A = this chain, B = another copy of it.
Amino acid sequence: MILSGFRNTKLFIDAANRISSYVHHTPLLTCETIDRMCGCEIVFKCEHLQKAGAFKSRGAANAVFSLIESGFQGAVATHSSGNHAQALSRVALYAGIKAHVVMPENSLTSKINATRDYLAQITFCTPTLEARETTLASVMAETGAVEIHPYDNRDIIAGQATCAMEILNEIQPDFILAPVGGGGLLSGTALAAAHFGNHVQVIGAEPAGANDAWQSFKAGYLIPSVNPNTIADGLLTSLGQLNFPVIQQHVQDILLAGEREIIDAMRLLWERVKIMAEPSSAVPLAVVKANPDIFHNKKVCIIISGGNADLDHLPWTKE
């Protein structure tokens, strides 16, 4: 039985139709060398080739255009140092509304520039969660902008689900693996599998250094992220309130990967598959390599969630 609030298939079909002009239908890629190495058949879903370089464009498009359809003409706002900021700014530009983005002042120049290219109004703050939240609150109070949360939002989840809907429309894998940070992509993927899959198992892949989703999943209640430490900078956030019950009910398991394994998997994706995965996107491959027994001879689809890596500081470059 699909979790209440997400039971209506129409929620997902509508999302797919709503965003189709604003996002790419991304390609699937395979690589003989990786298959030999892992002992299974892997298909990569290339969301690094998505608009603004990450799956986040899907959720942002669904959330913004849902608002527009309901007659909304105001501004939207979020705090983000990364892919959600770019995705939301880009979509707001297309929708003809203003986007306010609170960014920590230590954000990467490339991410600041990309967000600025989409004409977002950027407000900088000190790089703590508290500063981000209070700055966002004051920006919203001043401008009347509506917050679009990066993952703890039903329209965002339905938007992220469209990625797995595309996968399941083209192939029938035994497993789909997605990285888990706040849980937007993982919960969307699990719901897509529940609605449109044929016995496909959805597995979350999380860095051992930021394992709050794994802890919460095992404990059965939400345990927030405390001092997470991982190169996978997209996965530092705590699991969302709305995302956790979906994951509990519809995700088969969450598996962990160490930092060395994540970097090795990232290098393998770059060198052999020519996929410019950002560190977060390498976590599922690291998990598959570390668990040959689970995936042996299976058809495994890995979602490459984004490609916005810091080209000036690649993890294998000697400084």
Q: Which residue, of A33, A270, A271, A316, has the highest number of chain B Cβ atoms within 10 A?
A: A271
The answer to whether A270 and B274 touch across the interface, beta carbons within 8 angstroms, is no
The answer to whether A271 and B311 touch across the interface, beta carbons within 8 angstroms, is yes
The answer to whether B312 and A274 touch across the interface, beta carbons within 8 angstroms, is no
The answer to whether A307 and B53 touch across the interface, beta carbons within 8 angstroms, is no
A27 at the binding interface (Cβ < 8 Å): yes
A117 at the binding interface (Cβ < 8 Å): yes
The answer to whether B49 and A274 touch across the interface, beta carbons within 8 angstroms, is yes
A17 at the binding interface (Cβ < 8 Å): no
The copy count of this chain in the complex is: 2
The docked-state distance in angstroms from the alpha carbon of A49 to that of B31 is 9
A38 smallest CB distance to B (angstroms) = 15
The docked-state distance in angstroms from the alpha carbon of A53 to that of B114 is 28
The docked-state distance in angstroms from the alpha carbon of A51 to that of B272 is 10
Given the complex, which residues of B lie within 8 Å of A49, measured CB to CB? 29, 274
Given the complex, which residues of B lie within 8 Å of A110, measured CB to CB? 271
Query: Per-residue 0/1 for A145-173: is the Cβ within 8 Å of any B Cβ (1 yes, 0 no)?
Result: 00000000000000000000000000000
- CB within 8 Å of B: which A193-234 residues: none
The answer to whether B314 and A117 touch across the interface, beta carbons within 8 angstroms, is no
- Cross-chain pairs A/B with CB under 8 angstroms, 20 sampled: A27-B27, A29-B49, A32-B51, A33-B117, A48-B274, A53-B274, A110-B271, A114-B272, A267-B311, A270-B276, A270-B311, A271-B311, A274-B276, A274-B307, A275-B276, A311-B316, A312-B316, A312-B317, A314-B314, A317-B317
